[in-house]
Amino acid sequence: MGEANRRNIHQQALKYAEDCNIVYDTALRRVKAFAKARQQIRAASKCPGCNRHTLFIESTDYEFQSNESWVQCSECDKTFDISTRYKALHSWFNFDVVMAIQIEKDKPWLGDWDEFALNDTIELEKELKIRGGARNE
């Protein structure tokens, strides 16, 4: 990783920590995890038919039932059965629950906010299969 990239990640983590009111270490882990998520989304969006990054999940009205969904290329119009290979194309894959909840001024229902953010980060890292995602007790 180049110096400019490290500096950019550091700046993103500082802003994320401030915006979400969480500790820097957790923010840095989240910034890195969402960068990895974007890489996985890009990789999953590559069409095996035309080699363009134009795949998306097409679904019926039962969009939460994967057996009613398929992957389609917006360029060559080919379709493929949905599989774990395309998991990153689901709309929830890149959803940031910490960023979404941070607008709540009072979060007594969450307990400790930093602990909530850390636990969600650990789950995010597990989902993305990032080493170091397990918590050191």
* Structure confidence by residue, pLDDT tens digits, 67-103: 557 888 999 999 888 777 788 887 778 889 898 888 7
Query: What strands lie across the sheet with 55-59, from one edge to the other?
Result: 55-59, 69-73, 79-81
Pair of tokens at residue 115? 């602990």
- pLDDT of 11 higher than 90: yes
**Structural contact between residues 57 and 89, judged by C-beta atoms closer than 8 angstroms:** yes
Residue at 134 is within a domain: no
Residue at 137 is within a domain: no
Which range of residues forms the domain containing residue 102? 3-128
Residue at 46 is within a domain: yes
Residue at 68 is within a domain: yes
First to last CA, the chain: 29
Backbone angles phi, psi at 49, to 5 degrees: -80, -50
In the 8-state DSSP scheme, what is residue 72? E
Interval 27-82: pLDDT, tens? 999 999 999 999 999 999 999 999 999 998 876 554 455 455 788 899 999 988 87
> CA angle 67-69-75, nearest 5°?
150
If one counts the domains in the chain, the total is 1
Residue at 124 is within a domain: yes
Residue at 135 is within a domain: no
Please return the burial class of 96, using the count of CB atoms within 10 Å of its CB with bins 0-12, 13-18 and 19+.
Answer: middle
Interval 121-132: pLDDT, tens? 999 999 888 765
User: By three-state DSSP, how is residue 118 classified?
Assistant: helix
